Amino acid sequence: LDMPLDLQAAAHEYIGWLQLEANRSPNTVRAYESELRKLIAFLTENGHSLQLADVRHEDLRAYQRHLALKLKSPASRARALVAVRSWLRWLAREGLNDRDLSNGITLPKLEQRLPKPIDSDELARLLAALPTTTLPDKRDRALVQFLISTGCRISEALALDRTDFPRSGNRLIVTGKGSKQRAVYLTADARSALEDYLAVREDASMAMFVNFDRSVADDRERRLTSAGARFIVKKIRRELGAWSFKSPHVARHTAATTLLEVTGGDVRLVQEVLGHANLNTLQGYTKIVD
């Protein structure tokens, strides 16, 4: 690669690498691109030359002060700064910058918030009370049972096609972050709920979980969205009084803590099932189980 002389070109090179070589998810690429754009806009407003060679630690400190005033949430500031730090580290590693400026980025200290799984008694009541009368009822029950059983991220569940459902057995392959595939497992209840739902589907959509909104004319466009899944959880929570079921992600927390309990704290197994790249991510779960 030629040495990019300006920040726009350097950011463009990095985003291309994230997409094509690092194989990061579209959401991650969009988020990182947005954060780099904001940094460049800040430097422009402050009269910077926008030449890579002219970036100094003082510029980065000024940007961190700017974020501290603009973003009250430490987690939001951390997300912004992680993108900038990763970019600077990559520029040095690839030889596009002769200095590694990434050590000039300091992340705000974050409070460790423990995950909040659904209480086992409340979970049992919730699963027993899920309605099964209509087709949307059957879909909602199948989605909740699937999430609780597998611990999948909602994006992983919604990306599944009906052909991914195993004809026999309880093993199913999902595609997680960075296009990494892993096996997840269906409980007998989850398999039964999915069979009950898929058996009465008459639409032509390939999606495992579909949107039954009549305004969607084309069956192929019926794949349920994350917003749709959040609405389903909100409705179930309100109608069944499952107050700790605040979002689809709570099902993942619940699966993780349940797995740790039944395996006697086997963090490696839970890491594999949940698709966590780093064991540190499971620290919150182990504290709860302890």
Active-site residue list: 153, 177, 249, 252, 276, 285
Residue 281 dihedral angles phi and psi, to the nearest 5°: -60, -25
Alpha-carbon gap, residue 50 to 99, rounded angstroms: 16
Per DSSP, 279 falls in state G
What sign does the dihedral 258-262-267-269 (CA atoms) show?
Answer: negative
CA 17, distance to chain mean position in Å, is 21
Alpha-carbon gap, residue 100 to 85, rounded angstroms: 10
The pairing of beta strand 181-185 with beta strand 171-175: antiparallel
Helical pair 26-45 and 7-20, crossing angle rounded to 10 deg: 170
CA 101, distance to chain mean position in Å, is 28
